[in-house]
Amino acid sequence: MLPLAGVRVLDLSNVLAGPFCAYQLALLGAEVTKVEHPEGGDLARRLGADKDAAARNMGASFVAVNAGKRSITLNLKDARGKAILRDLVKDADVLVENFRPGVMDRLELGFDKLSELNPRLVYCAISGFGESGELAPRPAYDQIIQGMAGVMSVTGDAHSAPLRVGYPVSDTVGGLTAAFGICAALVDARTSGRGRRIDVSMLEATLATMGWVVSNYLNAGVEPTPMGNENFTAAPSGTFATGDGLLNIAANETRQFESLCDVIGRADLPRDERFAARHLRKQHRAELKAEIEAALAADSAANWETKLLARGVPVGRVLTVPQVLAHPHLAERRFVREFAPAHGEAAQRVTRAGLCLGDADAAPSSPAPTLGAHTRETLAQLGYDAAQVETLRAQGVI
């Protein structure tokens, strides 16, 4: 049994940060019901590289973080839609939303109102800047947060920075932070019977992951600068050109540096006065890199990887997304899961959690749902008959 089996989650969020949070909970066994607007649902349904799937409201962006969930449609601006949500909240453990601060309160569906119905409810609000502070009312997207958090200022090199990280890292980190907070709050709710409100700021969640960079400034007064593919903590540590392909080398310890030099036929480098000590290697990283790359030009990244790993030097080729997804290592660990086509849809391939459990499979139990696939079933469980459901549908409530 998965750790969150029996936990009921209402996912009112859209696009990425909130859905990614709820996806992590679903992978760990929670029953996640996605609550979407009847007209189009989650915007992510219309996003992604497959335009035909997006036209069917099953875009690749939506599929990525919504497998294993149920989908119902509710118009939360309608009193009847609000009433249905309140009924669902009574038996829920968690509610996740990523509206702008204040929206749920204006709908009379905020934490204070809902906790009266269910005192043990864990209510998680994810926003760009948090629920308080002068930036709170601002709209926020991943790229805006990356820029304001300082991520872009340290990404790239002196010529290319500031540069956006190549995937929505702030959205993703915000979702992970929310999932972590929810799991902690659930532990307390199970023992105390008391839920709580969780206020997740994507800006602060992103900064919290920049620990070493932030600490160097806060505690040593060193303002971070973009260093491209170089590791600011050590040298030689970064990306190196070879005779064929790029190779990441992290010879952060002296013994690793000495082994590297021995393997590439430059056992003299550790005796060079420019490279004889750790701090000197950092000072002369450009000269050291030039010496190493000259030697690496004699063979391919794949062959150097094999030779260096045999001597205990941490290395890895720079792979593309297709290359790493095709790697037999991921196949052996069953990281990608495929669901057969259903209801006229294409097959879905999704990723499981970034962890493995010793006695259970942290993977989605079903494909991403079509819009409102579970609305009728859910309303029937709440006591609505077929005629009532049809009336709600005809009047745009569901």
Q: Cis omega before residue 162 (within 30°)? A: yes
Predicted local distance difference test score (pLDDT) of residue 301: 97
Fold match between domain 8-209+332-394 and domain 237-318: no
49 contact partners, CB below 8 Å, separation of at least 6 = 60
Q: What is the CATH number of domain 237-318?
A: 3.30.1540.10
The structural domains of the chain, with segments of one domain joined by +, span 8-209+332-394, 237-318
Look at domain 8-209+332-394 and name its CATH class: alpha beta
Predicted local distance difference test score (pLDDT) of residue 232: 87
**Cα gap 386→394, rounded to integer Å:** 12
Of 244-248, 284-288, 355-359, where does mean pLDDT reach its minimum? Answer: 355-359
Question: What rounded mean pLDDT belongs to the chain?
Answer: 95
φ, ψ (nearest 5 deg) of residue 360: -155, 160
Predicted local distance difference test score (pLDDT) of residue 363: 92
Structure token pair of residue 63:
């599929």
Query: Residue 11: helix, strand or coil by DSSP?
Result: strand
Active-site choice (93, 171, 188, 199): 171
**Cα gap 235→212, rounded to integer Å:** 17
Catalytic-residue membership of 157:
no
- What are the distances in angstroms from CA 154 to CA 61, 151, 271, 322? 27, 6, 33, 27
Q: What is the pLDDT of residues 328-362, one digit of tens each?
A: 999 999 999 999 887 667 789 999 999 999 888 99
Sign of CA dihedral 327, 364, 123, 136: positive
Of the candidates 115, 107, 144, 112, the residue with the CA atom closest to the CA atom of residue 127: 144
In the chain, the N- to C-terminal Cα span, in Å, equals 33
Predicted local distance difference test score (pLDDT) of residue 246: 97
Instruction: Give the angle 44-183-19 at the CA atoms, nearest 5°.
Output: 0
Rg, Å, the chain Cα set = 25
